[in-house]
Amino acid sequence: MKGERLFKQFKITLLTLLAVALSGCASTGDYQDPRDPVEGFNRAMYSFNEGLDDILMKPISKGYKAITPAPVDTGISNFFGNLADVGSAINNLLQFKLERAATDVGRVLVNSTIGLLGFIDVASNMNMQKYGEDFGQTMGAWGMDPGPYIVLPFFGPSSGRDTVGMVVDWYTDPVRYVKPNHWRNSLIGLRAIDTRADLLSASRVLEEAALDPYEFQRDAYLQKRRNDVYDGAPPPEPAY
């Protein structure tokens, strides 16, 4: 079907870009940060994403924020957060974090029932912690290094490990299995707009605070992902 063909084409494109990045073909080798060996390629993708955001995602997200009542906006974010807890439960289980996996499952059960399909985050009000694990973190917990920093077209900051993880996460995403396809695609679009709308204030801080927004975003992403893999208690970083 058309949606599946488009996704397959995207995966081929994504893997091609990853192969180019890993081979270093997009870089001259003149870089300072060894975590970012394809900085030339990444800066080009960063500029592309920023341009796309300025002309498309940011205006749509501002309009969405302007017309959507705050309780509805919160409910939509909660709904997608509830779906994300499904993948988190799977990844906590793969990491043998059984208590966390049980909490994730409990969150899904509570929010899907008492919370009206997740639109109300009852579980958080019951002090059931949200973990947000993904397959990139799972591979990190298994000892896999993050690999090179990569900026993906449309998706933004990533790494070699997290790019593979993102593909795996797609297969555990409940939205993937929604039928018919136009409902699935509508949910994917709504989730992207809702996520971007929630980041409007953060993007303003980035624009105002950073002398080099690209470098700021890269360092913040890598630090956060390292923190995620080690559950908030990372060991000292290796010297470069």
- Does some domain include residue 78? no
pLDDT digits (tens, 9 = 90+) for 51-106: 999 999 999 999 999 999 999 999 999 999 999 999 999 999 999 999 999 999 99
Q: Which helix (H) or strand (E) segment is 164 a member of? A: helix 160-171
118 occurs within a structural domain: no
pLDDT, residue 203, reads: 73
For the chain, how many structural domains are there in total?
Answer: 1
Can you tell me the mean pLDDT for 125-150?
97
Question: Does 123 fall in a domain?
Answer: no
21-30: long-range contacts at Cβ-Cβ below 8 A with a sequence spacing of 24 or more? 21/148, 21/150, 21/160, 22/147, 22/148, 22/160
Using CB atoms within 10 Å of the CB of residue 161, give its burial: 0 to 12 exposed, 13 to 18 middle, 19+ buried.
buried
How many alpha carbons lie under 13 Å from residue 177 in its C-beta half-sphere?
6
* 21 is a domain residue: yes
pLDDT confidence of residue 54: 95
- Whether residue 180 is preceded by a cis peptide bond, meaning omega within 30 degrees of 0, is yes
User: Per the domain annotation, does 150 fall within a domain?
Assistant: yes
* Listed residue (61, 139, 130) closest to 95, CA to CA: 139
Whether 95 maps to a domain, the answer reads: no
In a domain, 117, yes or no: no
Query: 149: domain range?
Result: 2-67+134-229
* Structure confidence at residue 1 (pLDDT): 53
Residue 94 phi/psi, 5° resolution?
A: -65, -25
